[in-house]
Amino acid sequence: MNVGSGEQIKKRFAEIYDATYDYIFKYILSKVSSREAVEDIIQNVYLKFYKRMCDEGNLKVLNPKHYLLRSAKGMIADYYSELSKADTESIDEGIEIIDEKALDLLMNDNGYEYNDILRMIKEMDAVTYKIFILHFGYGYTIIQVADKLDLKESTVKSKIYRALKRLKKEITDKEGEKYAYFRRT
């Protein structure tokens, strides 16, 4: 029996992980309605794969992407068997008409701190999270994002605008508090 060493398996897994992660992530992202679930599922997809590689000493998989995709689909099916899609059904309601220039300024502002961005991501609703990941993380155009998520283009823009506006306001407020603190001292 040809059994690979732990390091060999880890190396092979790392290569597969690097080669397939974005594809699998985007697939799960497009199918699952919450950020937590996206991360849980992708984590478990790869964990299951890696454990199998370890358990079997050597696992011969010539098409890991397809295997991982199938595994992801299975886990997504499990996820949806327990979950309603309620949170995605009314997302087009109450969308405001946004100021395109203001949106452009917010998107190209380089004054954001990474920790603020992380906090914003944590507080985002699922749809906004997907929009941000696809548009800013993977470089999809607004139209592509809208198409991918089956949303109106205006909805995508509005979601981005709202999130960035809120983030900007929080940063501004925080700055204000900082100055206020200095004034008190």
Helix (H, G, I), strand (E, B) or coil at 15: helix
Identify the burial level of 68 via C-beta atoms within 10 angstroms of its C-beta, where 0-12 means exposed, 13-18 middle and 19 or more buried. buried
Site for another protein in 127-156 (CB under 8 A): 132-133, 136-139, 147-148
Identify the burial level of 81 via C-beta atoms within 10 angstroms of its C-beta, where 0-12 means exposed, 13-18 middle and 19 or more buried. exposed
Q: Can you tell me which of 33, 37, 145, 157 binds another protein, judged by CB under 8 A?
A: 37
- Minimum gap (Å) between residue 38 Cβ and another protein: 9
Q: Can you tell me which of 90, 97, 101, 108 binds another protein, judged by CB under 8 A?
A: 108
Asked if 104 and 136 touch (Cβ cutoff 8 Å), the reply is no
Site for another protein in 88-107 (CB under 8 A): 106-107
Which window, 29-37, 87-95, 97-105, 175-183, contacts another protein (CB under 8 A)? 29-37
Is 1 a residue that touches another protein (CB under 8 A)? Answer: yes
Site for another protein in 55-74 (CB under 8 A): 56-67, 69-71, 73-74
Asked if 127 and 151 touch (Cβ cutoff 8 Å), the reply is yes
Query: How is residue 92 annotated by DSSP?
Result: T
- Minimum gap (Å) between residue 83 Cβ and another protein: 8
Between 91 and 168, CB nearer to another protein: 168
Is 181 a residue that touches another protein (CB under 8 A)? Answer: no
Distances, alpha carbon 15 to alpha carbons 19, 23, 37, in Å: 6, 14, 24
